[in-house]
Amino acid sequence: MKTAVVLLCVLTAAPAYAQGQGRGAQGQGRGRQAGPPAKETVAPAISGVVSAGTKVVVVKDGFQSTEGPVTLPDGSLLFTEPGASKIHKIDKNDNITLFLENTNRADGLGFDSKRRLIAVTANTAEVLYPEASKTVLAGPYKDRPNDLVVDKKDGVYFTLTTPKEIYYIPSGGKPVVVSNDMKSGHGITLSPDDKTLYVADSTSEYLVAYTVQPDGKLTNKRNFGKYEGVKKTETGAESNADGIVVDSEGRVYVGTLPGVQVFSAKGEHLGVIPTSQRPQNLAFAGPDRKTLYLCGGTALFKVQMLAKGYTGRPK
């Protein structure tokens, strides 16, 4: 509890700190992404997950891409704007403020048990905040890391799209390759018990799962669940699967081209929450962890859920 209170105090003061601080260059990145305009859509009924007719609300549009949401102890949310090298904070009243800038195009985010903010950036995995803790954990790489998840031992898994590898950084250790058999690894997360690692292959019609070993290594790669509404091609599938999050029941949510695909803890397909832009990443937030935030191409969306996000880690 003391840790959470300290973090909240730090985060409240963060926007003042953020001005003019940090590394990297403002304006670098992928820039504003072309695509359909952000507009409200409506969710179907998915038992225990979301009520029929629930709106997928556009919180704000006009970002230079949105990514990497991670939840804070009070239910507020951080998310990245890689094209502008910024991290923003949104509170329970949908007020959005600048948290950090000059972030070297930070993308996926996570916290360790010391409440250090860890990010994958344009070419590294590193601790971005607080200032005294800044350090590069892995890299630099020639290509851009895509997403990360921090386990209960403070180990960090992250995806690197070229070469197509998954890395693991043991707490206090050096990065090691734990998989090199993905076609195009993007979003990544762990099951609530940390025993299963889920990875989104953007060219596959299946969500991929691995069994996590005690030393962090991965075995038993398998197709966990099959997406619906995904067009198959000669080279794979146009799922464009990306960000992943789990809820308190172990259900798995994946952002894909049709919207958010929802699977049971056993891999059964439960339904799709349609979206006007492809969800690049997603996270549960709000005081009760029942608001699902979606980072789309240029916008931030939210959906009021029946399901509750897993509270054992920030994302």
* 236, pLDDT greater than 90: no
Share of the chain above pLDDT 90, in %: 79
Residues 120-125, mean pLDDT to the nearest whole number: 97
As a whole number, the mean pLDDT across the chain is 89
Question: 3-class SS at 307?
Answer: coil
Q: Is it true that the peptide bond before 192 is cis, omega within 30 degrees of 0?
A: no
Q: DSSP assignment of 142-155, as one string?
A: SS-EEEEEE-TTS-
Segment 140-199, tens digit of pLDDT: 999 899 999 999 999 999 999 877 899 999 999 999 999 998 888 899 999 999 999 999
Segment 30-71, tens digit of pLDDT: 444 456 889 999 999 999 999 999 999 999 999 999 999 999
Positive or negative torsion for Cα 121, 281, 82, 313: negative
* 19, pLDDT greater than 60: no
What is the spatial distance between Cα 263 and Cα 266, in angstroms, rounded to a whole number? 8
Q: What is the pLDDT of residue 231?
A: 84
Determine the CATH number of domain 29-304: 2.120.10.30
Counting every residue written for the chain, the total comes to 315
What is the spatial distance between Cα 26 and Cα 23, in angstroms, rounded to a whole number? 9
Contact 86, 24 (CB under 8 A): no
Share of the chain above pLDDT 70, in %: 89
Q: What is the pLDDT of residue 163?
A: 73
Q: What is the pLDDT of residue 62?
A: 95
Q: What is the pLDDT of residue 17?
A: 30
pTM across the whole model: 0.89
Q: What is the pLDDT of residue 239?
A: 87
* 23, pLDDT greater than 70: no
Domain boundaries in the chain? 29-304
What is the spatial distance between Cα 274 and Cα 162, in angstroms, rounded to a whole number? 30
